[in-house]
């Protein structure tokens, strides 16, 4: 771990504490060069699947990107920031449980759309038109032109029914 202050490459661990019944570790460190003291945490990371676009491109799951799209769609609508984050939390939980290496991005899109529809149909329509108009026109069109792809998985919440919008 580099020093956050002087960027020296060697820093010493001066204290280690096990937290959350061994699920996390906190370390106090000290820089030999400038004596800066700082703290680092180690946690388990959730392994989320890569998204597979209609043209075969892979993309990492990007929570911020989805939140940005949702926030824009829900502007001046009765959908709170907490509800948006809860929606994505639910999606991440789903994905973590499925423990797939990759998943078609339109399945993610459908899940988000379905959940958003439950919260506010107006935001749902905005979200759909936003992605259709600005983001993934090419993916959307190529999805329509292709014969229906078999979904990677059959899951009640993550199915390929309805629109083929991608995130």
Q: Which is nearer to Zn ion, 38 or 132 (CB)?
A: 38
Q: Which is nearer to Zn ion, 12 or 58 (CB)?
A: 12
Residues 92 and 47: their CA atoms lie apart, in Å, by 9
| Count of residues that bind Zn ion according to CB under 5 A | 8
Q: What angle do CA 115, 92, 117 make, to 5 degrees?
A: 5
Site for Zn ion in 70-109 (CB under 5 A): none
Residues 86 and 92: their CA atoms lie apart, in Å, by 10
Residues 137 and 143: their CA atoms lie apart, in Å, by 10
Tell me if residue 79 falls in helix, strand or coil: coil
Q: Which is nearer to Zn ion, 8 or 86 (CB)?
A: 8
Query: CB 83 → Zn ion: shortest distance, Å?
Result: 43
Q: Which is nearer to Zn ion, 35 or 102 (CB)?
A: 35
Q: Are strands 50-52 and 102-104 parallel, antiparallel or unpaired?
A: parallel
Query: CB 15 → Zn ion: shortest distance, Å?
Result: 17
Q: Which is nearer to Zn ion, 29 or 104 (CB)?
A: 29
Q: Residues 5-44 vs Zn ion: string with x where CB under 5 A?
A: xx-x----------------------x-xx-x--------
Query: CB 8 → Zn ion: shortest distance, Å?
Result: 4
- DSSP run (H or E) holding 106: helix 105-119
What's the length of the chain?
Answer: 167
Residue tagged 């990759």 (tokens): 102
- Residues in contact with Zn ion by CB under 5 A are 3, 5-6, 8, 31, 33-34, 36
């Amino acid at each position: 771990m580099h020093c956050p202050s002087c960027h020296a490459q060697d820093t010493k661990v001066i204290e280690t504490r096990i937290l959350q019944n061994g699920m996390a570790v906190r370390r106090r460190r000290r820089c030999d060069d400038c004596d800066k003291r700082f703290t680092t945490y180690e946690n388990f990371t959730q392994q989320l699947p890569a998204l597979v676009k209609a043209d075969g491109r892979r993309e990492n799951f990007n929570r911020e990107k989805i939140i940005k799209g949702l926030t824009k769609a829900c502007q001046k609508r009765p959908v709170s920031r907490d509800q948006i984050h809860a929606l994505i939390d639910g999606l991440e939980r789903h994905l973590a449980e499925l423990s797939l290496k990759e998943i078609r991005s339109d399945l993610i899109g459908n899940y988000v759309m379905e959940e958003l529809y439950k919260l506010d149909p107006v935001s749902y329509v905005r979200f759909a038109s936003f992605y259709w108009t600005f983001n993934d026109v090419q993916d959307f069109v190529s999805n329509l032109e292709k014969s229906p792809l078999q979904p990677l998985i059959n899951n009640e919440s993550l199915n390929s029914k309805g629109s083929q919008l991608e995130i």
